[in-house]
Homo-oligomer: A and B are copies of this chain.
Amino acid sequence: MTIAENPVRNGVDTATLFATIDAVKGDPDIAKFRFRATNTWMSGTHNRSTIHGFHGAKQEMNHREPFTFDADHPPVLVGTDNGPTPVEYVLHALAACLTAGIANIAAARGVNLTAVRSVVEGDIDLLGILGLSDSVRNGYRQIKVTFHVEGDADDATLREIVEQSRRRSAVYDALTNPTPVEVEVVTF
């Protein structure tokens, strides 16, 4: 089946996807993006981020609306539970990144998906962040993602689609490999 016969598959506009990849091949600077979040402390462990503008394709752009997200700790971690913990947002980001990749890759390979669900679990020992141990790391000891994938392809093909998504996932890479993070402070 050619792209022209079915340019939209899995909700992915494959014609536009391939055209975008071709455009980037012609001008790699299009692929340089800078994403941004701004955060404001509310009270205690409760704070709120806004995600709206970003730079990409050589221009400043906006999402169609500002998206805002509250983070907090639950009462057991001395918070007021106005939102998930920051580390839970990381699990969401990982699932979302892998899932978007699965949809794109399946579409590019001519596979129609009917369901993709996942559970992401992260094990963390809070002795680290509580400052009670120097040998326990602050972050997740391990993260496990379990995907349920259904579509009009055999088991091996569906597994290969998930594997290719993992190989090209931005969030998977950000977690499994070191990412340089600089923290600057302005007091006033």
Contact = CB atoms under 8 A, between A and B. Distances in A.
Interface in A53-112: 54, 56-57, 61, 63-64, 67, 69, 71-74, 76-81, 83-104
A67 B84 contact: yes
Given A44-B10, A170-B139, A49 B95 contact: yes
A24 B130 contact: yes
Given A63-B81, A104-B45, A117-B39, A159 B185 contact: yes
Nearest to A162: B185
Interface in A135-181: 137-150, 155, 158-159, 162-163, 166, 168-181
Interface of A: 10-13, 16-17, 20-21, 24-25, 28, 31-47, 49, 51, 54, 56-57, 61, 63-64, 67, 69, 71-74, 76-81, 83-104, 113, 115-132, 137-150, 155, 158-159, 162-163, 166, 168-188
Q: Which 4 pairs show the lowest CB-CB distances between chains A and B?
A: A11-B43, A11-B44, A71-B96, A139-B173
